[in-house]
Amino acid sequence: DICVGGSIEYTLIWNDEFDGNGTIDSSKWFHQTQLPNGNSWYNNEIQHYTDRLDNSYVSDGTLKIVAKKETYTDQGQTKEYTSARLNSKYAITYGKVEIRAKLPEGIGTWPAIWMLGQNISEPGAYWQTQGYGTTSWPSCGEIDIMEYVGNSPDEILNTLHFADKFDNHQYIESSTPYIQDKEFHLYGIEWDENNPRPLIPAN
């Protein structure tokens, strides 16, 4: 990015416009399906994440992530819901990140777009499989660009997660009113050495 007249102009370095139909571009995305503790996911999530077309695919210029109520067995565990969890295969430090998304509604849903430190030690995550996993959460850091918790339908959350010098979890959270119009909106941040600034929703 460059500074012009006191404002920043950014250069596009990574994107996916989800052209085509069917399978997600595996050169850009990684399906995270491994249960991190061999039994369940974090935050008491009760689904399996899969790499099936049933749960994630591209069509009509958009990525679809589909949560389904179904009995599904994987890794020796049977669960009653499935969905998809995607890691991008690109890492940045500072810049502008934008995602246009339409969110599901209802208690039990929890769509989120977030960034974790590339060094996070998280079994089955993309950067862990590439040998970068050296630091546990929250010391690796986390920037939640957008979280929409189904039991709080009137707000979008953005949160910074980090650790103090004793590795205790700390966070700074803010919220933005959510427009329940079932349309696509642009979510994002501008991130520099001082702080990330949320852009949610931009429109």
Q: Which of 45, 80, 105, 142 is catalytic?
A: 142
Strands (E), the chain: 2-4, 7-9, 29-31, 48-49, 56-59, 62-65, 68-74, 77-83, 86-88, 95-101, 112-116, 142-147, 155-163, 169-177, 185-191, 196-198
Residue 137: name the closest of 117, 111, 166, 157 by CA.
Answer: 117
147: annotated active-site residue: yes
What is the length of the chain?
203
CA distances from residue 157 to 9, 110, 172 in whole angstroms, order as listed: 26, 11, 10
Backbone angles phi, psi at 127, to 5 degrees: -70, -25
CA dihedral 52, 54, 56, 58 (to 10 degrees): 110
Q: Which of 147, 155, 173, 190 is catalytic?
A: 147
Q: Is beta strand 155-163 parallel, antiparallel or unpaired with respect to 142-147? A: antiparallel
Q: Catalytic residue at 122?
A: no
Number of Cβ within 10 Å of residue 42's Cβ equals 9
> Which sequence positions are flagged as catalytic?
142, 147
